Structure 1
Amino acid sequence: MDTMRIIEYGSCDHQAMIQLRDRILRKPLGLVFSPEYLRQEINDVLIGCFEEERILGCCILTPVNDITVQLRQMAVDEHLHGKGTGSRILSFAEEQARNSGFAELMMHARKVAAPFYIRNGYSVRGEEFVEVGIPHYEMFKRL
């Protein structure tokens, strides 16, 4: 049984989260995290899905303004794709955002992930754009 929890910045769980994000999101694109990039997460809400101590998936919530929070760095272990882990993480993130007073959750979703977000109630806003060398859409959901 998996459990969702908030991850403390700089903790062992945070290190596991960085390793998962690196494996799923960065290495396939030939990218690496810089220490400066990772330091920007210090005030964000770091969310992890765990089975005991093993991280299964994660995401980050970064406030944009008083009403909007951005979901970033959503990653799920490749062996769990299509098994509901991502939807559970997303639901937990939405609950955290709502409880913090945000009215909208938005993201820059990879084009290949857009169908997942649409199935979870998100809408595309604007035109396709390129970020980190691959196609993305801005997507959002009212909370």
Structure 2
Amino acid sequence: MKETVLVYREIKTDGGDYSQTLELRDQVLRKPWGQSIKDDDLSGEPLDFIYGAFDGGRLVGMAILQDRGEAYSRLRYMAVDPAYQGRGIGTAICREFETRSRESGKAGIRLMARIKAVDFYQRLGYRKEGKPYCPGHIAIEHVDMILTFHG
């Protein structure tokens, strides 16, 4: 397969690419467990920074960075198309979020990781906080993780 150059950019909720974030999140994070992204409360997303990787016009990776006025930003909804996993997309998105969070004076980034993603985040410097749990209506084990900026 020919290696393509991916384009990374912000996605606005009132733009045409936002629907692709819903499709990708549904495909990667919800459908495999019999759930639907339509059941999630997405009402706060216009306030968030949504960042995606595009191959041509197709969204192949994305995540959301929340800033709700707390000391730490929150990373949510990391989703990468399975055909594109292992190409550094998740790492590039995390690095962009780290830069933005540092520039806005945050102490670091918090997230809830599925157990299978813990190693990925640990390689990026995140550490586990607490024990695994199943959040709310989701029957998939997660663990809280944190990246604290120093200096």
Q: TM-score interval w.r.t. the shorter chain?
A: over 0.9
The aligned counterpart of 1:58 is: 62
Distance 1:83 1:25 in 2: 19
Q: Which runs of 4+ in 1 moved over 6 A?
A: none
What secondary structure sits across from 1:127 in the alignment? strand
Unaligned runs of 5+ in 2: none
CA RMSD of aligned residues (A): 1.5
Q: Report the structure number with the largest CA radius of gyration.
A: 2
Counterpart selection for 1:135 from 110, 131, 141: 141
TM-score, structure 2 as length reference? 0.88
TM-score, structure 1 as length reference? 0.92
The percent of aligned pairs where both chains have the same amino acid is 33
Provide closer, same or farther for how the CA distance between residues 26 and 35 of structure 1 changes in structure 2, counting only shifts above 3 A: closer
> Residue 29 in 1 paired to residue 50 in 2?
no
Unaligned runs of 5+ in 1: none
Alignment length, in residue pairs? Answer: 143
More strand by share: 1
What secondary structure sits across from 1:126 in the alignment? strand
Distance 1:35 1:135 in 2: 19
> Residue 11 in 1 paired to residue 50 in 2?
no
What secondary structure sits across from 1:37 in the alignment? coil
Residue 39 of structure 1 aligns with an amino acid whose one-letter code is: S
CA drift at 1:9: 1.0
Kept in 2, the 8 Å contact 1:63–1:69? The answer is yes
Kept in 1, the 8 Å contact 2:48–2:65? The answer is yes
Structure with higher RCO (Cα < 8 A, 6+ apart): 1
